Structure 1
Amino acid sequence: MDLLYYVRLARRNWLLILFSLVLAAATASVVTSNTPPKYVATITMLVSGYDREGSLSTAYQAGMLSQQRVQSYARLLTSRRMISQIVEGGDVQDLEETVTAESIPSTVLIRATVTDTDPARAARLANTLGTEFPKLIDEIERPTPHSRATIKVTMVDRAAVPVEPVSPRPLVNLALALVIALSVTVGSLILRDRLDTTIKTDEALQQASKSSILGTIGYERDARRLPLIIRSRGRSSRAEAFRSLRTNLQFIGVDQQPKSLVVTSCLPGEGKSSTAANLAITLAQAGWRVILVDGDLRRPRIPRYLGIEGTTGLTDVLIERARLQDVIQTWGEADLAVLPSGQIPPNPSELLGSRGMRNVLAQLTETYDMVIVDAPPLLPITDAATLAAVCDGTLLIARYGKTRREQVVRATEMLSSINARMVGAVLNFAPAKSSQYYGYGYGYESDAEVKGTRKSKVKVSANA
């Protein structure tokens, strides 16, 4: 993971990051406003030993004794015995939690602090602690009740009434909340992105399918309601994407140009039927003699998309109840030929793998420039693999953010195991930056011009 990865991840999820920061700032503000201010009063005390003789050795011994007592006195300051001499009743436990004491390193000084919501009370309790603690030490450090204590404690600095509270600190709370929110949000996004194996880029699809990417079809809001590209006179980014797909198909295998193409996907709902229909329409608009075969004998979609009758079709031909030329329909201004699926049979796999299906495909490839077969998904059933084995090529459709890498790998391995030729893959429903058609100042190449170009090429090749 490099810096560019984080930048792209942040750009894709900037709204979520902004929302988390705003929520953190609001939470910090609420917590700060509802937290009562706390004030700290501090006293300093000196621990010293009595030098009875005034000699150097006794002074040294008194100093060593004082240093040994400092650590113990710091703990004794916060003991229940000491606190109970300052307050009485239930306040002893509360005050124990607010009194702290520490020894200053390399000295015989003890610093004690009292935290309270009332600054005056904090100072009063701290000073009372500084007055009562020397009395306690004088009492417990006497060898006998009538002798003099060996250690004495003196309050050096009295506590003043604090002016500024030590908490809450609005800026610190805000900064801490923002850092936590940013860390949690970015960490969650990175974790989700690493655990998410769905296809979201052309590079990921290319690596998973081990084939070339022939096109990227952008997402449009009206595509589900109006799946065909004939609306808006074909002037949309989605229509342009299918024209680009048509162009890329023309450059696949110059010496082995496929004449029959299976369009399938890994799972249902990835847009294979709409892709097959729009690709057939685009090729027909360019002057190709195209036939669209609805090879999904389980859940046919082509008749509904094109608005044609689909009760009679491929299944009737395969069981020899109708002739092929009698069930082929013509659709649209481009005279697109369509072979519906017909009635849903009880044995789709057997029909699609029969000799009759091979004969149908052979007849269609002799009559048309391109036979596009809309097949069922690859992974749930074997129908698409059966068709892919008898057709010249297979086009795999993957849906952005839904199809997973492992599913594409499995589908590719399945096609490879039956020696099916995979001509490429298409990333469908990709987020489009703009729904406007591509202008670039060059204008469109009209379908009439493309059709004329296609017909001229056919004529020249025929003369040749």
Structure 2
Amino acid sequence: MEDVPYARIAREGWVLIAILALAGTVAGWGITRALPPTYGATSTLMLQVDSSQSSLFERNQFSLARVKTYPALVDSPEVIDGVREDLGLDPDEYTDATLRQMLSAENTEDTVLLRVRADAPTPDLAKDLANSSARHLSDLLESTENSERDGQYVLELQQVLPASAPQSPDSPQVTAITGLGLIGGLALGAIIAVYRTTTRRRLLTISDVRKASGLPVFGQVARFHRAGGGEDRTAMTTLQDALENITALGGSPRSLHMVVPASEAALDDEVLTGLLEAHASLGNKACVIDLRARPSTGEGARPWTDVLDPVARSEVAGTHREPHLYVSGDSAGAARLASTVPPAIEILRKEHDVVIVVCDSGSSALQEKLVGMGAWAIISVRRYATRATELLTAVTRLRVMNIQPIGVLMTHVPRGALENVAESWRTSDGKKLDDPGRDAWTTAGLDLLDRGDDPDRTHRGARALLG
């Protein structure tokens, strides 16, 4: 059975736990404010027994035995009616059942003391109820216990400690209920945090990526915050680190990168633009050719077929603008792209230090062709948007074709969630990948490009390959 990752749960769920603990505390305090206050007042009576025919010991034993029977008398009609009449209470509002709930009495063990308690919504009413019920209880006792025919014992309940108005309510107990709310919030937050971490299907951390695919994460790209269109230094630094880590994991630099997004949102225009800017900051001339079914729509994007059109290329050169981003400009299927795109890629490789090709996970023929041209396979995921099953599907498809990705690029990572990716690497992650080189189709079909000095001849050869 897998151990529960308590440290990871605390790291990922402490905000949720803190929020629910605060919410529980506020809820507990709010409940105490909503509940009506109850004030308690107590009047203490002492039983005295006089007898000229009994010893002190006999009187003491008699009083201890008798006082135990008196607490139940506080609910008697004589006491209830007397209290209502003394205080002028409305019989409809303060019924017999209501007053019995408000009054109680108890005998302190092994003493002749009787404590009469009253609970009421106001301090003064609690005091008056306790004192009035104590007086009427004393009167009831004297009228029933003292008989003219049997004068051996004379009993009297004296009020030795009159009730006073309480300064604070006895209930609700603000501290106790608020504390229970805090404990309940902490417990609920911990339960949710454990459940979310142990059952989560979306990729949130480097550990999630490793668990789903077995691949290392070579870069975490910070979420972009471009104020006024300016450069985001934090995001750019993370992109630069990711590009340098590609070489560290691959073992040697390559001019062709194949990026396979595991989900639709894993690689957007902002990240693609950031990749080009990061390469430029490292002194590399790079371009992106996006061949997904839904390619980038970023500013300056041009159809990839312009690479093979000498007229279009001359127009671009005349504007003094370098078209870094090329997108799929037609509805050609993946199989046709696999046979038509390589010439364009070879042209771009002659003019750029790095060519980044973005393709869908299902473009098997195109992926095989790119790897045959010496491309590194890279998988892109988006934090908390890409599911573990989507990453596993993308990795499995590549491995079925005997393509081993060098790692995973995680995008849109909040600054507070950035991790040291190098600390997560294993010894096996640094294995150098064998360069498959060009396949037979590429070697034969692109020979026109390799031996052509004249640009027009080069483009004619490329168009010939396109048929």
TM-score range (shorter-chain normalised) is 0.5 to 0.7
Residue type at the aligned position of 1:103: N
Alignment of 1:117-132 (within 5 A): 119=123, 121-132=125-136
Cα distance in 2 for partners of 1:249, 1:4 equals 27
Mapped partners of 1:324, 1:152: distance in 2: 125
* Conservation of the 8 A alpha-carbon contact between 1:127 and 1:159: no
Equivalent of residue 305 in structure 2, options 313, 320, 324: 313
User: What TM-score do you get using the length of structure 2 for normalisation?
Assistant: 0.64
Q: TM-score, normalised by structure 1?
A: 0.64
Counterpart of 1:269 in structure 2 is: 265
1:2-56: CA deviations, max 9, x gaps? 689758855x57995897599679858x939x966735132234397x9897379
Equivalences for residues 283-322 of structure 1 within 5 A: 283=279, 286=282, 288=284, 290-297=286-293, 299-301=294-296, 304-310=297-303, 313=305
Structure 1: gaps spanning 5 or more residues: 315-321, 434-464
> Which of 199, 217, 221 is the aligned partner of 1:217?
221
Q: Corresponding residue for 1:167? A: 169
Between the aligned partners of 2:408 and 2:59, the Cα distance in structure 1 is 92
Answering whether residue 39 of structure 2 is matched by residue 42 of structure 1, we say: no
Q: By how many angstroms is 1:167 displaced?
A: 1.0
- Tell me which amino acid in the other structure corresponds to 2:328: S
Structure 2 partner of 1:456 = none
| 1:238-258 superposed Cα distances (whole Å, 9 cap, x missing partner) | 222222222111223226x66
Q: 1:344 aligns with which of 320, 331, 339?
A: 331
Q: Which residue pairs with 2:190 in the alignment?
A: 190
Unpaired runs of 5+ residues, structure 2, are 86-90, 417-467
Residues 177 and 3 (structure 1), Cα distance of their counterparts in 2 relative to 1, 3 Å cut: farther
Rate the CA distance shift 1:177–1:361 in 2: closer, same or farther, 3 A.
farther
How far the C-alpha of 1:113 sits from its partner, in A, is 0.9
Report the counterpart of residue 93 of structure 1 in structure 2: 97
Aligned match for 1:427, one of 410, 422, 429: 410
> Helix, strand or coil for the counterpart of 1:157?
strand
Matched positions, count? 395
Q: Is the 8 A contact 1:276 1:373 kept in 2?
A: no
The one-letter code sitting in structure 2 at the alignment partner of 1:264 is: V
Counterpart of 1:102 (choices 102, 106, 110) is 106
Q: Name the residue aligned to 2:436.
A: none
Q: Cα gap change, 1:147/1:206 in structure 2, threshold over 3 Å: closer, same or farther?
A: farther
The CA deviation at 1:218 is: 1.5
Partner of 1:244: 241
Secondary structure (helix, strand or coil) at the match of 2:260 reads strand
Structure 2 CA distance, aligned partners of 1:3 and 1:150?
A: 78
Describe the superposition over 1:174-197 as per-residue Cα deviations: whole angstroms up to 9, x where unpaired: x45653554455445434433153
- Measured on the aligned residues, the alpha-carbon RMSD in Å equals 5.0
Deviation at 1:341, TM superposition (A): 0.6
Once the two structures are superposed, residues 138-178 of structure 1 have per-residue CA deviations (whole angstroms, 9 ceiling, x without a partner) of: 67779xx98649998642434535244231799x73x4565
Q: Match of 2:236, SS? A: helix
1:393–1:137 Cα change, 3 Å: farther
CA distance in 1, matches of 2:226, 2:345: 37
Partner of 1:460: none
Change (3 A) 1:98 1:259: same
Percent identity at matched positions? 15
Q: Residue 324 and residue 104 in structure 1: after superposition, are their counterparts in 2 closer, same or farther (change >3 A)?
A: farther
1:252-297 Cα distance to aligned partner (Å, 9 max, x none): 3226x66543323332223355434433454366555645221202
Distance in 2, Cα, partners of 1:121 & 1:78:
18
> Contact between 1:138 and 1:149, CA under 8 Å: does it hold in 2?
no
